Amino acid sequence: TRIGDVGMFIGLVILLLFYGNLGIVDVNSAAVAKQIPVPLITISAILIFCGVIGKSAQFPLLTWLPDAMEGPTPVSALLHSATMVAAGVYMFARLFPFFAGSADALQFALLIGTITMVLSSTMAMVARDIKQVWAYSTVSQLGYMVMALGAGGYFSGMFHLTTHAGFKALLFLCSGVFIHHYHTNDFFVMSRQGARNLKVPMVCMTIGALALSGVFPFSGFFSKESIMVALASHPNKIWLAAGLFGEVLTAYYTFRLIFVMLFPKEIEEHHHHEEEHHEGEGILYWLMGWPLIILASLTCVLGFFEKWFEHYLFGDYILAHGMEHGAEAAHSGGHWLTITAIVLVLIGVAVAWLEYGRKGASQEGFLSRMPAIEKLFANRWYMDHFYRWALDTIIYSGFTNIFTRNDRRVIDGGIDGLCRGTEGSGRIASFLQSNMVQYNIFVMVAVLGFVALSFLG
């Protein structure tokens, strides 16, 4: 993420040097009033967007977030759903009028968000670690938010940021309950040990999965519909096609996990009675369950407050910068987009059901028949391998060679030169040294006489 920080810092320095102000309100107002040259906006905005890439795990700096899942699950629920990783997207939204001053800057953001959404979705399709599935999902949904903002849908991106905070925190906390109980992150193992018998977290996680997939009437349906409308308003429909394709992928990897946990191929019987005892009498189970119920309830109703969010939380900002209201844009988009999105979500769920949910399903997935592609997704498109190669080849080896040459030529050369100079002066001085006492006395008297004449003169 330091790479993103450096890019952002350079962008801020360029903006400060050529415009002279870094105040968010001032910069946004100046961009809207066209007081900042478009080339300056383009260059500085793209560099500032590097900070968004690093902080919100966008392509190509997206592999760090799944590795951060080693932390406690409640921390993941807070940091990796609503606060820390969302900071980059929030900064993008805060500077949206500035970015909107350059069509190229928004196009760049749209491209990065789309690549991020697709790549992270494919990674989630093969993950077995329950927290990593939701981590890849978080990266994917952050990509959706960036896509919405890049397409000009300010409210769409911010509303999805809001709904995502609720249902993703719910999914992480539900995962924490399962991990605490089964002492494993592998949801295939959880399934065999009877995860479906933990009814409260199972029901709540299913609600979160429905919201993540964009199923009506859960909150994710409304925010994702708003994003699709924003993408549909873009002249280039390839972005809308990518967004709809992401709907299929999201539904597939989400319900892959749900169906595996609900319909295990086999159950380890010795865990069955432990589940019933734990659910009926475990006070810790219910202490962990109440937050899930609250978040699940919010996930069920939050989407119906879309207009309230738009007018009371974001309305003044939208009007102040001349942006279109999401509700008005949605009404102008018709119902075909909603129907298309619903059908694609159902296709994703149906494929997941056929491979993981139905009786007799192999639970291996269609990617198991394409091992090269499955390995590609499992290895994160070999991005980590590329980074290690780049570090070893370019940075470590390159700088090592530079420092080695510098050490040999400058440091060693200077020391060797000093040694040779000392040795040479020693040889010259050795000519003055003799075994003849009279000669030595003569030289000493001559030197003293020369010194005396120097003082007297």
Specify whether 285 is located in the same domain as 423: no
Domain end, chosen from 348, 378, 408, is at: 378
Task: Tell me the one-letter amino acid at 385.
Answer: H
Specify whether 363 is located in the same domain as 416: no
pTM exceeds cut of 0.85: no
Closest C-alpha among 258, 277, 124 to residue 203: 258
3-state secondary structure of 146: helix
Q: How far apart are CA 301 and CA 316, in angstroms?
A: 24
Task: Tell me the one-letter amino acid at 199.
Answer: K
Question: 35: which 2 tokens?
Answer: 């007081």
Domains: count for the chain: 2
Specify whether 304 is located in the same domain as 409: no
Digits of tens for pLDDT over the chain (457 positions)?
778 889 999 999 999 998 888 888 899 989 988 899 999 999 999 999 999 998 888 888 888 877 777 778 888 788 777 778 888 999 999 999 999 999 999 999 999 999 999 999 999 999 999 999 999 999 999 999 999 999 988 889 999 999 999 999 999 999 998 998 888 888 999 988 888 888 899 999 999 999 999 999 999 999 999 999 999 989 999 999 999 999 999 999 999 999 999 988 777 655 554 544 444 446 777 788 888 999 999 999 998 988 888 776 665 565 555 555 444 444 445 588 889 999 999 999 999 999 998 887 777 878 888 889 988 988 888 888 888 887 777 766 666 777 677 766 767 667 777 777 777 666 666 665 656 666 667 777 887 887 888 787 6
Domain end, chosen from 350, 378, 406, is at: 378
Would you say residue 383 lies in a domain? no
Specify whether 403 is located in the same domain as 349: no
Would you say residue 436 lies in a domain? yes
Would you say residue 340 lies in a domain? yes
Specify whether 110 is located in the same domain as 179: yes
pLDDT at 65: 79
Would you say residue 116 lies in a domain? yes
pLDDT at 288: 84
Specify whether 308 is located in the same domain as 420: no
Would you say residue 152 lies in a domain? yes
Closest C-alpha among 82, 92, 84 to residue 152: 92
Specify whether 175 is located in the same domain as 262: yes
Domain end, chosen from 327, 354, 378, is at: 378
Q: How far apart are CA 271 and CA 194, in angstroms?
A: 7
Specify whether 305 is located in the same domain as 221: yes
Q: How far apart are CA 111 and CA 232, in angstroms?
A: 15
The terminus-to-terminus CA distance of the chain in angstroms comes to: 73
pLDDT at 61: 86
Angle at 117 between CA 111 and CA 119, to 5 degrees: 100
Specify whether 261 is located in the same domain as 367: yes
Specify whether 353 is located in the same domain as 398: no
Question: Residue 241 belongs to what domain range?
Answer: 105-378
